[in-house]
Amino acid sequence: MTTLLYVTAHPLNTDANSLSISRQFVETYREVNPNDNIVHLDLYMADIPQIDANLLKRWGQPPSGPSFDELNPEAKVKAIRIRELVEQFVAADKIVIANPVWNFLFPPVLKTYIDSIAVPGITFKHADNGLRGLGGLVGTATGKKVVHIQASGTVLSHGRYQELNFSDNYLRAVMKLLGIEDFQTIYVEGVAEYKDQAQEIKNKALQQATELAKNF
Ligand SMILES: Cc1cc2nc3c(=O)[nH]c(=O)nc-3n(C[C@H](O)[C@H](O)[C@H](O)COP(=O)(O)O)c2cc1C
């Protein structure tokens, strides 16, 4: 069965732009693919462990590996949770990531999540000719794909603030590290910069989300 992992990085449960556009995407996807498994990971509601001193000491080893026993009870719980998050990510065929832009980047919990799922030796590894994603074999395609839905007050996809588009560029780079090159972005951007066009901007993003979801 195909699994779509829907990751949201927003503290509110409102019709915030990143949420309303991504919900539209997921609802359309569900209509077109009624038998697919859709899993929502709300990063503000879920337990997303930070890498702390205990975990860092054994960085790169699977939580069930030999040094697991060396962890204190609190770190063991974190390591098991990180393992669950990695397995959930690996099991997903398709991934939707939705976030607002805050001070040029996404909310910090999304970085914490990335730190959980980007595990050397599991989701990527070093090869002679560079880093390799999921499985680590040269030329291995994961077959996974990502759509990133990003809301920002200014236009970041092009124009004078393009060089500040750290959020989308970072996610694109880190997904490539994990072996995922099929990465598309839906922007709902410029709602503060072009206040008078805010509704039009949202409608355009809703339309894009609907169209992309039909064939995702
Ligand atoms: C704390 C904070 C920081 C923000 N920083 C930026 C920024 O650096 N660049 C930008 O274009 N918009 C910025 N904004 C505006 C939001 O990106 C914009 O309101 C967007 O619609 C938020 O997404 P949401 O509607 O899903 O909450 C910021 C908003 C907040 C609350």
List C-alpha distances in Å: 94 to 18, 112, 178, 190.
Answer: 18, 20, 13, 27
Q: What percent of the chain has pLDDT over 90?
A: 68
69: pLDDT strictly greater than 90: no
CA 58 to chain centre: 24
- Write down the H helix ranges in 92-197: 108-117, 166-177
Question: Contact, 154 vs 190, CB < 8 A?
Answer: yes
**Of 31, 33, 37, nearest in space to 2 by CA:** 37
Residues with CB under 6 A from ligand 1: 10, 16-19, 100-104, 151-154, 191-192
Maximal C-alpha separation, the chain = 59
pTM to 2 decimal places: 0.93
Mean pLDDT score across all residues of the chain: 89
Q: Ligand 1 centroid to 191 CA: how many Å? A: 9
* Distance between Cα 107 and ligand 1 center (Å): 10
> Six-digit token pair at 15?
């019709």
What's the Cα-to-Cα distance from 131 to each of 99, 138, 140, 173, rounded to whole Å? 27, 9, 12, 12
Q: What is the pLDDT of residue 131?
A: 61
Please give the Cα distance from 132 to 123 (Å, whole number). Answer: 9
Between 18 and 142, the higher pLDDT residue:
18
Give the residue, by CA position, lying nearest to ligand 1 atom 22: 100
Closest ligand 1 atom, CA of 100?
A: 23
Q: Across residues 160-188, what is the average pLDDT? A: 95
Cα separation, 157 vs 164, whole angstroms: 9
All domains of the chain, ordered by start, with CATH?
Answer: 3-214 (3.40.50.360)
Q: How does pLDDT run across 21-50, given as a tens digit for each residue?
A: 999 999 999 999 999 999 999 999 999 999
Whole-number Å distance, alpha carbon 209 to ligand 1 midpoint, is: 20
pLDDT at 110: 98
Q: Which helix (H) or strand (E) holds 147?
A: strand 145-152
pLDDT bin (cut points 50, 70, 90) of residue 136 is very low
Q: 62-66, 118-122, 187-191 — which is least confidently predicted?
A: 62-66
Mean per-residue pLDDT, 54-65: 63
Identify the pLDDT of residue 138.
Answer: 43
Lowest-pLDDT choice from 12-21, 65-74, 78-87: 65-74
80-109 pLDDT, tens digit per residue, is 899 899 989 989 999 999 999 999 999 999
Phi, psi of 52 (to 5 degrees): -110, -170
CA of 128 to the centre of ligand 1 (A): 41
Q: Is the pLDDT of residue 9 over 60?
A: yes
Q: Which of 42, 96, 102, 154 to mutate to test the pocket of ligand 1 (most atoms within 8 A of CB)?
A: 102
Distance 188 CA to ligand 1 centre (A): 11
